[in-house]
Amino acid sequence: MGASIIDSSIFGNIFSTDAMRQVWSDRNRTEKYLDIERALAVVQGRLGIIPPEAAEEIVKNCDIDKIDMDKLREQTERIGYPVLGVVSQLNALCRDKLGEYCHWGATTQDITDTATVMQMREGLAIIDGELKAISDALAGLSRRYRDTPVIGRSNLQQAIPVTFGFKTAAILAGIERHRERLAQLKPRVLMGEFGGACGTLASIETGAMETQAGLMEELGLAQPDIAWHTVRDTIAEVGAFLGIVGGSLGKIAMDVKLMMQHEVAEVYEPFHPGRGSSSTMPQKRNPISSCYIHAAVSVVRQHAAALMDAMIADHERSTGPWEIEWIALPEAFCLLAGALKQTRFVLEGLEVDAAKMRANIDLTNGLVMSEAVMMGLGPYIGREYAHDLVYDLCREAIRTNRPLLDILAEHPEINVHLDRAALARLCDPANYLGQAGVMVDKVLQRAAGAGQ
């Protein structure tokens, strides 16, 4: 029974993915506890901190299939934490009371935090793959539409022409920065925890630091310089990363929604029969994936804020802020996975109407080329005077519903300097794309280098 949108049998694969749910599942989390207990026994047996036969027995029984999950649920409800229930069951599985050496010198939060880091490692690997696929899709659009004019918009108003490749390359540059951020944050955040009750490893008389180092080596995690039980910047950093990635996905979704409006109709989400239709209006083609992306990433940002709240922890072991992470972190990962999947779907199958893009540029009868005209006239009559003159002529074009080119060509202060042919060149959107192509090429080159 799924009560949340993430676990819903109906909505679950819209707002998340099976792969990310598996990462944060009860079974995988419990398996991580066992992986840590196994590694701890191996290291401590090797160091002579626990008897070798105890280490061997513990390792043999660190098997998720030997854990009674129903019993673990009951134990967790009674105790308040699942780790002690796992240790209790593991102890009972071992012969001759050798299981008493399980969890030697560790505390619940050591195992919980380290398991969380291992889950984050798996979740970030999924995100990394999706970001790479999204980057590839954006690169393909940027190459294909490098020189395709589309109107740039400012305050939802038509501004000046850009290219559709320029729009997608700007987003691509942001996605590539996210990939850089992910590579940079991994060494900081993929760090295990093993400090004992208050982080000092006082419970292990000899070999404490060697145990910690060996444990992290076994698990493939960084060794902390000092315990971080109540210093939660690394978890919050991951939350912030998820939030800003979601912001970029939301930007994509917002532009697609706006460009799918009937009055704009420049791009469309991929078509499938019946997708996006209305129960009452057969003509509609709603932006379904973009709506899901918008909703999911909005909640991810709230979870990022909650993870920052969890940083405000008391003393060496906290009373409540830690548990915020148990709620917010898995949901943030799962929702972002869904948003990434929907974004990839949209971009890989995006339908682009270049003819409609050009038609929309022409909607204003040339008014969107007023800056080009102003700059072209500037050397002859001064930029500021040219601005005021062109402004007045734009108002006249709007009032009379005539092409701006006609009005410009008739004006004596203008045609004395520029004939109609020269003005037509200034009013051609293809001639006022600036360095868009150069910038697109730079982004594509950088992205290609990062992918090697």
**Catalytic amino acids?**
278, 317
Task: Give the span between the Cα atoms of 233 and 238, in whole angstroms.
Answer: 9
Q: Which two three-digit tokens encode residue 396?
A: 């006249």
Residue 53, C-beta contacts closer than 8 angstroms, at least 6 positions apart: 98
Q: Would you list the DSSP string of 237-286?
A: HHHHHHHHHHHHHHHHHHHHHHHTSTTT-SEEPPP-TTTT--SS-TT---
Specify whether the CB–CB gap between 424 and 405 falls below 8 A.
yes
Q: Which two three-digit tokens encode residue 83?
A: 């780790």
Task: Give the span between the Cα atoms of 207 and 241, in whole angstroms.
Answer: 36
Residue 381, C-beta contacts closer than 8 angstroms, at least 6 positions apart: 389, 413, 417
Q: What is the sign of the dihedral through the CA atoms of 316, 321, 326 and 330?
A: negative
Q: Say what the alpha-carbon torsion angle 420, 423, 427, 432 is, to the nearest 10 degrees.
A: 140
Separation in Å, CA 104 to CA 194, 303, 374: 11, 34, 77
